[in-house]
Copies of this chain bind each other. A is one copy, B any other.
Amino acid sequence: MSVTQSSKAKQRSECVFSNVLDLFGDKWTLLVIRDIFFFNKHEFKEFLASPECIATNILSDRLKRLLANGVIAEQIHPENKSRKFYYLTEKGKALLPMLIAMAKWGAIYMPDLNEMQKLYARLREDEKKLLSEVMDAIEQWEAQNIPKSQ
């Protein structure tokens, strides 16, 4: 039990923003969510391979928190018991608009557009289409990997 802050340990106030930040207000949590949404990553080692180089203990902690809060779910890899899949629950999938809003702001106001040009272009071109394409990709992965997607 090393989850930095358990499910609803201490909330700083009853404000939505403060509560959302209690869950996602750090430099790593949303990067994991990004990896699932936009890079179709689902395993521990895949998250580790992201360019930000998250440490294994931090990743482990964040996955636990997200699991404990029902944002993601896990499943043993069907082909290998020592591997796991992590995937978004409905609660987690509902975060996409937030990520899109972040990306839109960043695309305009952050100086460095080198990476992710494709995302920006798709964002500018047709946001709703991007949104549905990302969700389609997620659901397609689920159909192939999660036995009974409830």
Contacts and interface: CB of A to CB of B under 8 A. Distances in A.
A108 B52 CA distance: 31
A144 interface: no
A43 B34 CA distance: 35
Nearest to A53: B12
A116 interface: yes
Of listed A18, A27, A28, A99, residue having the most chain B CB within 10 A: A18
A3 to B, nearest CB: 16
Interface in A1-20: 8, 11-20
Tell me the number of copies of this protein.
2
- Say whether chain A's binding surface is mostly helix, strand, loop, or mixed: helix
Given A25-B30, A27-B21, A15 B102 contact: no
A37 to B, nearest CB: 10
A125 interface: no
A115 interface: yes
B103 A97 contact: no
Most central of A16, A108, A119 by chain B CB within 10 Å: A16
The 5 closest A-B pairs by CB, nearest first: A16-B106, A14-B115, A13-B51, A25-B27, A98-B101
Interface of A: 8, 11-22, 25-28, 30-31, 34, 50-53, 91, 94-95, 97-112, 114-116, 119-120
